[in-house]
Amino acid sequence: MPKIWHITTKEYGMNTTKVREIAEKKRIFRERYQSSFLTKKEVAQELNISCSTLDRMRKEGLLASRRIRGSVMFSIDEIVRVVEG
């Protein structure tokens, strides 16, 4: 049986605001890169970290990646999740 969550009007407003913010960040990334996936270099630039730090985050499971045609790629959804922290 599914759980039923009860939230207040204030909590609902905060949640919808958060959803809008996340959607806006995704839209900005997609407009900037015209893709759903970013390269290591692009992600490192967006997060203002080195590629080595990005590799460490990936190996520690803090950031999910995929191999696409032999290259390590990161989804925009995953980058937004990390940014939102």
Look up the domain containing 73 and give its range.
9-84
- The number of distinct structural domains making up the chain is 1
Helix (H, G, I), strand (E, B) or coil at 4: coil
- Residue 84 pLDDT level (bands cut at 50, 70, 90): confident
DSSP code per residue over 43-71? HHHHHT--HHHHHHHHHTTSS--EEETTE
Mean pLDDT of 18-27: 81
Average pLDDT over residues 63-70: 93
User: Does residue 69 have a pLDDT over 80?
Assistant: yes
Region 55-82: mean pLDDT is: 91
Minimal CA–CA distance to 29: which of 64, 73, 80?
80
Domain at 37, CATH number: 1.10.1660
Instruction: Work out the pLDDT band at 44, boundaries 50, 70, 90.
Output: very high
Q: 């080595």: which residue's tokens?
A: 52
Distance CA(50)–CA(2), nearest Å, equals 43
Rg (CA), the chain: 16
